[in-house]
Amino acid sequence: MTTVTAKDIEVAAGVLAKVATKTPLQKSERLSEEVGRPVYLKREDLQICRSFKARGAYVRMAAMDEDERAAGVVCASAGNHAQGVAYACAHLGIQGTIFLPASTPRQKRKRIATIGGKWVEPVIVAGDFDEANRVAGEAAKDGGKVYVHPYDDPYTIAGQGSIAVDLDSQLPEDTDMILIPVGGGGLIAGMATWLKAHRPGIRIVGVESAGAASMKAALEAGNPVSLDRVDSFVDGTAVGRAGDLTYQVVRDLVDDIVVVPEGAVCTEMLDLYHSEGVIAEPAGALASAAARNFLPQIPNGSVVCLVSGGNNDLSRYAEVTERSGRYEGLRHYFLVTFNQEPGALRSFLNDVLSEGEDIIYFQYTKKNNRDTGPALVGIELPDPTDIKGLRRRMAASPLQVQEIDPSSQIFKILV
């Protein structure tokens, strides 16, 4: 198979019928109120391996002949595709080697080993996904093994597209738009192929993170291009170059691509957890983050957001909270030079800070002399507009204060 058709996706859905879970479509009252239209969450975070990726991996490996199965498989993944391959290896009895970029969260590494058991060998590669992908490709060629691509393979695309077959019986009649996370493009390519054949009136919008917008770059360039830099925070979609096959489908069938800042993703991760009880990984919160503030146009009917995965390491929530606070304008950092005398800090608390403003970080840096000492001070505000009053009070105080830009190198060194 070299191309993907709606029929191929229906066949893939049949292959997955006794394996994959038909995940629920749930209305979000919070998002519906914010958007002004009914908003629904397609909960692929409740899929086997807690991600849609198991669909494509299983369909690809189920299509292998006996000789290919005997030789085994290799793959590269930031985590979820690896879990899908591990699941397929264990259930189909195929030996697999899985190459993971060094940034793969520890929780995902452990899950891969647990799911695959004796059938998989995880290998950590120094570098990002694209480097892991390169190493995996070489290993497949040298060892005569089948390379299970995470997105740019017709069988994988068909497997991911089976979500659309599930959705067909779940979608509200007035569905106007479906928001789909985009990494390499396998998920949106598969879903778009089926939906445009069976539900052509629904607008399909891809959502990328600002630090890894490879599909947007491909569409602008007229072909897939390699990004100079990839921010791996949204690790499930941190792909530096869109797929060749997937690019063609997205170019022809997808209505729009929007790009969402990582900070907005963090805010949505927290709100999903607090309001809906959904533990989404960063990529899993991309679509619903876009629904809040980044829709390409106002929807005429219901909106569906795909929650693509829930394999999130809880130890990352401190970083998620930090990024969200900075994005929302609630957290700010300053270098404050205090006189080394009793009461200097108390004066700062009484005269500069206002009610509800909290110090969330305080660390003395290197002292210049015995009379003064600079400290890095992080302050959280109850409302982002309060920063104006805080800056005025700082300017009026006798203290030397320098606000630190979160995008600056000094911020990255100090915080």
Of the candidates 42, 53, 196, 216, the residue annotated as catalytic is: 53
Q: For the purposes of burial, counting CB atoms within 10 Å of the CB of 29, is it exposed (0-12), middle (13-18) or buried (19 or more)?
A: exposed
Measured between alpha carbons, how far is 355 from 174 in angstroms, rounded to an integer? 47
Max CA-CA distance within the chain? 79
**CB count in 10 Å sphere of residue 396:** 10
The phi, psi pair for 241, rounded to 5°, reads -150, 125
| Residue 195 main-chain phi, psi, to 5 deg | -65, -40
Query: Which value, in Å, is the radius of gyration of the alpha carbons in the chain?
Result: 24
Note if 53 is an active site residue.
Answer: yes
Q: Which two tokens stand for residue 177?
A: 């738009």
Active site residue 308: yes
- Residue recorded with tokens 């949505």: 268
Of these residues, 214, 302, 308, 324, which one is catalytic? 308
224, 13, 280, 276: CA torsion to nearest 10? 130
Dihedral angle, C-alpha 171, 172, 173, 175, nearest 10 °: -80
Which residues are known to be catalytic? 53, 308
